[in-house]
Structure 1
Amino acid sequence: MNAQETYIDARKKYEMYEQNDDSALPIVNKFIYKAKSEKNYEQLAQGYEDAFYFSSNPNKKLKYADSCIIASLKTDNNDLISRSYLGKGTIYYFNFKKYQPALSEYLKAYEYSKKGSDEYQRYKIIYHMGVVKSYLGYFNEAVKHFKECISFFEPKTKGNYHPNLIYNNSKGYLNSLHQATICYRNLSNFKKADSLVQVGLQFTSRTKDFPLEKAYFTKCKGILEFHQKNYVEAIGKLNSALPILKKNNDFAWTSVADFYVGKSYLGMGDQAKAIRQFEKVDSIFQKHSFIVPELRENYELLIKFRKEKKDYKQELYYTNNLLRADSILTKDFPYLSAKIHKDYDTQILEDAKIKLENQNHWSLRAIFLLVFVVGILLFTTWKLYKKEKNIRIKYSELKVKLLNHQKSEPLISYENIPQKSKSVISKNVFADLEKKLDQFEISKNFKENGLTLPQLAENFGTNTTYLSEYINDVMGVNFNKYLSTLRINYITELMYNDSKVLGYSVQGLADECGISSRQNFSDLFLEINGIRPTDFIKQRKKELESGVISLS
């Protein structure tokens, strides 16, 4: 481009290209070269923003976004700086589904937006904060963000505005409608969700400018049809949305759509097709290491199916994948929850405090009390969430052990016991105790309530010294620990495999395995299994109920 050509004229040469069309980049690079040579940093930032818009490579998008931020920081334009950080955050969110770095960029964008005057920019940030809250499961909070955005964007989707402004506000409006639909669905307000879907489908049917947004609403309609048990209609809607989602590399919503196609097939009784869909969801997770919380059930169903087929190798494979998914969610959620509330929500409270103080509406004491109460509520919510996640992880780890059918084996043979023990126990005594203890475990005589070391020694026709020495040296624990482990392992397997046992009281479970005290049983269960028996029962019942509903 020549030196006399304006930046507006230069951008007109590529503005008709579609997003992610690399063929626009040579023209964009000429724009960047002109801005760089003239040290026009505002236009240079615009050029890099255009570059990451047209680039189809996510990694290159990030590089262009970094260059955009560097250029914008050389200006005094806070709105431009805010927009450049938001752009990078959007790439992390949409192209990588990496919420932690996305949130970090959103928060930077928010800080600069407070110093700027661009309302459109501010509402884009409000929208993206809502997306993070929705991912975290704070649907009531998130939907407030999207309602704000709908009220701002919708009036600007028509009227005497520039076509580009109408297009941008229409995208903001449609995406806010879509995210609000997701929130209402998760809040089980299906009537409200369906009404928003109809609005979105009517809007996108009037123009060909928003194929991806139309696919989002079609996908939502399919999920709502599933909840109404209209399985054929659900599959039709979801399958019509999937090609567009895949074309745009939206692997997150692709996996959700695949999952609900599978659930619909289950509802129709076609388990084979359902399982193939669930395996597609697993393949997406393996490729991108991303999962949304509602897709945990995908693995619970696969595990249930493989267990019914007695395919223990695949059951273990999917159990390990579920553990990996849980570890990703566990890592993401506390960070995101704390970060968004501390750096965004609390900051909004602080901003409101300053504004209110200036207007003399609230006293300083009331503001501090509000912040304190919010802090307590957030801390309590985080603690409860952390506890629940830990229970689920411990249950999954315990389940893997149960599936592997692990049995306590002697740690050492007679030849390897300490020399001082050999002076106490002869080889013949050792072999005799080994045989009798093995039979003791097989016959489950350890369930006898009040069993003591002297009593067991008498039953074996030996003395307490020999028996105690053998258990300490061979099993690596004392008699009480050995007996407790046998009892807890026995009752745990029984609880996992026999659903009737899940109806026992804690005292009933204790009696069943030979432990007299309810509290002692609960403490031993926690010590050995890492989880309380009541929590194990809740998780197992939830798992069984899910399996019965989905696979019956």
Structure 2
Amino acid sequence: AQTKYYLGFYNEAISLFKECIDYFKEENDRAYLNSLHSLGLCYNRIGNYAWCTVTNQIGIDEGKKLKNLKMEPYFIHSKGINLCGKKNYQAAIFKLTAILPSIQNNKDFANVSVAYFYIGKSFWSLNHKDKAITYFKKVDEIFKKEKYIRPDLREGYEKLIDYYKGKGNTKSQLLYIDQLIKVDNILVQNYKYLLKKVVKEYDTKELSRSKQEIENAMKLRTIIAFGIICILISIIAFLIFKHFKNKRLFEQVMKRDTKLPSVPKIVNKTVAQVISQDIEDGILKKLVKFEVDNRFLEKDMNLARMANLLNTNTKYVTRIIAKHREKKTIEYITDLKINYIIEKLKTESRYRNYTNKALGDEAGFGSTQNFTRAFKERNGISPTYFIYKLKKSINAGN
């Protein structure tokens, strides 16, 4: 009868257990009660919950009559499973939870595991999934420790997989896929025939495919995370580099002498014998006056206007600036403008509150963009950053 039950031939097992009950009723009290208990389990498996209920109650009553109460917890245990089958989930939870300590005291890990599963299944059916998961995990703990599993408990692993899939927890999902694969390997060995009757949400191929998909997704996430970390490190490194570079450039600007010399330097060289010495000296004196009077601040100052101010031609202006200031004309004018603004920022606090537009207008630039571009090209930092660092330096007392 037990072999038939084990193999899932429940109707045949029922007939044999009835014979056992008739025989052991007068011969062996424990075997008699065991047979009643097994008969109740068979009724439960074929969905005959009414006869299961009747058989369990007979078992309890007979045990009391025979003064043998060792099997009573198992009849109540069977009642709890049967109540779950009847969809009376609250009662099932109550019965199984109440009887668990007695079965645990017997160190009967197999029936403890079964109780955990049906408590979990009842909670799941009541949509208390967080509570259900706790009990399904207990089933897995017993499986890991004792290697005990049977076909109906397999469903708990499917619930665990679905639960963590819904939570987006791929790590736990993968863990229970691995566990279910191990469970199936044992069930195939021990319950090969009965396993064919078990309705599976996940078969072995589906589990392997899901496992592969999750592992691939986790690898991709790892690669993406690594990539993001590398990008963040690169950005941080760039910002640190930029910070120290800007700091160095600021210090260079602060050290640079942006004042006009008190006695402008005149180099006594002729310009390739094209300009006479007298004319050259005269133009150079006018150039110095141009610098001292800040005529370079005038809007749209260019070569033609300079030549007009110096009372000479553009060719002479270009050659004299190239020789005595070692710059091209526009570069020379722009440098004077930028140095003027830097000197004002260093020495006069009101300029530090000017906008870029106001500073550009003060220096005679045609537009704010022209000013900020020229400032950055010559100093490597923007006027905004320079003013920020300058204020910070002054406040720190440097």
Against the structure 1 CA distance between its residues 299 and 408, is the aligned structure 2 distance closer, same or farther, given a 3 Å change threshold?
closer
Whether 2:13 is the aligned partner of 1:142: answer yes
- Tell me the CA shift for residue 406 of structure 1: 6.3
> Does the aligned pair in 1 maintain the 2:43–2:51 contact within 8 Å?
yes
> Does the aligned pair in 2 maintain the 1:139–1:183 contact within 8 Å?
yes
Whether 2:253 is the aligned partner of 1:394: answer no
1:187 paired residue number = 46
2:185 paired residue number = 327
How far, CA to CA, are the matches of 1:265 and 1:392 in structure 2? 24
Q: Quick one: percent identity of the two aligned structures? A: 39
SS in 2 for 1:249: coil
> Does the aligned pair in 2 maintain the 1:218–1:240 contact within 8 Å?
no
Whether 2:11 is the aligned partner of 1:200: answer no
> Unmatched 5+ residue regions in structure 2?
221-398
> Does the aligned pair in 2 maintain the 1:226–1:264 contact within 8 Å?
yes
SS in 2 for 1:132: helix
- Tell me the CA shift for residue 208 of structure 1: 5.0
SS in 1 for 2:148: coil
Against the structure 1 CA distance between its residues 277 and 406, is the aligned structure 2 distance closer, same or farther, given a 3 Å change threshold?
closer
- Tell me the CA shift for residue 197 of structure 1: 0.8
How far, CA to CA, are the matches of 2:42 and 2:23 in structure 1? 19
How far, CA to CA, are the matches of 1:261 and 1:204 in structure 2? 25
Q: Within 5 A, what are the aligned runs for 1:308-319? A: 308-319=166-177
1:238 paired residue number = 96
Q: 2:22 aligns with which of 151, 168, 179?
A: 151
- Tell me the CA shift for residue 315 of structure 1: 0.5
Against the structure 1 CA distance between its residues 331 and 198, is the aligned structure 2 distance closer, same or farther, given a 3 Å change threshold?
same
Tell me which amino acid in the other structure corresponds to 1:182.
L
Q: Write the deviation string for residues 323-378 of structure 1: whole angstroms up to 9, x where unpaired.
A: 101000111234xx6xxxxxxxxxxxxxxxxxxxxxxxxxxxxxxxxxxxxxxxxx
Against the structure 1 CA distance between its residues 176 and 306, is the aligned structure 2 distance closer, same or farther, given a 3 Å change threshold?
same
How far, CA to CA, are the matches of 2:84 and 2:219 in structure 1? 46
- Tell me the CA shift for residue 172 of structure 1: 0.6
Against the structure 1 CA distance between its residues 408 and 197, is the aligned structure 2 distance closer, same or farther, given a 3 Å change threshold?
closer
Against the structure 1 CA distance between its residues 287 and 214, is the aligned structure 2 distance closer, same or farther, given a 3 Å change threshold?
same
- Tell me the CA shift for residue 248 of structure 1: 1.2
> Does the aligned pair in 2 maintain the 1:134–1:142 contact within 8 Å?
yes
2:109 paired residue number = 251
How far, CA to CA, are the matches of 1:134 and 1:328 in structure 2? 18
How far, CA to CA, are the matches of 1:149 and 1:136 in structure 2? 18
SS in 2 for 1:275: helix
- Tell me the CA shift for residue 316 of structure 1: 0.6
> Does the aligned pair in 1 maintain the 2:164–2:170 contact within 8 Å?
yes
Tell me which amino acid in the other structure corresponds to 2:12.
E
Q: 1:227 aligns with which of 76, 85, 90?
A: 85
SS in 1 for 2:107: coil
Tell me which amino acid in the other structure corresponds to 1:401.
Q
Q: Within 5 A, what are the aligned runs for 1:451-470? A: none
> Does the aligned pair in 2 maintain the 1:135–1:292 contact within 8 Å?
no
Whether 2:145 is the aligned partner of 1:287: answer yes
Tell me which amino acid in the other structure corresponds to 1:136.
L
> Does the aligned pair in 2 maintain the 1:204–1:210 contact within 8 Å?
yes
- Tell me the CA shift for residue 385 of structure 1: 4.3
- Tell me the CA shift for residue 247 of structure 1: 1.2
Against the structure 1 CA distance between its residues 232 and 407, is the aligned structure 2 distance closer, same or farther, given a 3 Å change threshold?
closer
Moved more, 314-323 or 399-408: 399-408
- Tell me the CA shift for residue 249 of structure 1: 1.5
Q: Within 5 A, what are the aligned runs for 1:342-357? A: none
- Tell me the CA shift for residue 222 of structure 1: 1.0
Give TM-score, length-normalised by structure 2: 0.51
SS in 1 for 2:216: coil
- Tell me the CA shift for residue 307 of structure 1: 0.6
Q: 2:132 aligns with which of 244, 249, 274?
A: 274
> Unmatched 5+ residue regions in structure 1?
1-129, 157-168, 338-381, 410-552
How far, CA to CA, are the matches of 2:218 and 2:62 in structure 1? 62
SS in 2 for 1:201: helix
How far, CA to CA, are the matches of 2:177 and 2:13 in structure 1? 32
Give TM-score, length-normalised by structure 1: 0.37
- Tell me the CA shift for residue 407 of structure 1: 11
- Tell me the CA shift for residue 269 of structure 1: 2.7
> Does the aligned pair in 1 maintain the 2:49–2:86 contact within 8 Å?
no
How far, CA to CA, are the matches of 2:3 and 2:179 in structure 1? 24
1:405 paired residue number = 216
> Does the aligned pair in 2 maintain the 1:302–1:315 contact within 8 Å?
yes
1:264 paired residue number = 122
How many correspondences in the alignment? 219
Q: 1:173 aligns with which of 32, 37, 40?
A: 32
- Tell me the CA shift for residue 405 of structure 1: 3.4
How far, CA to CA, are the matches of 2:219 and 2:177 in structure 1? 22
Q: Within 5 A, what are the aligned runs for 1:207-218? A: 209-211=68-70, 213-218=71-76
Query: How much is the aligned-residue C-alpha RMSD, in angstroms?
Result: 2.8
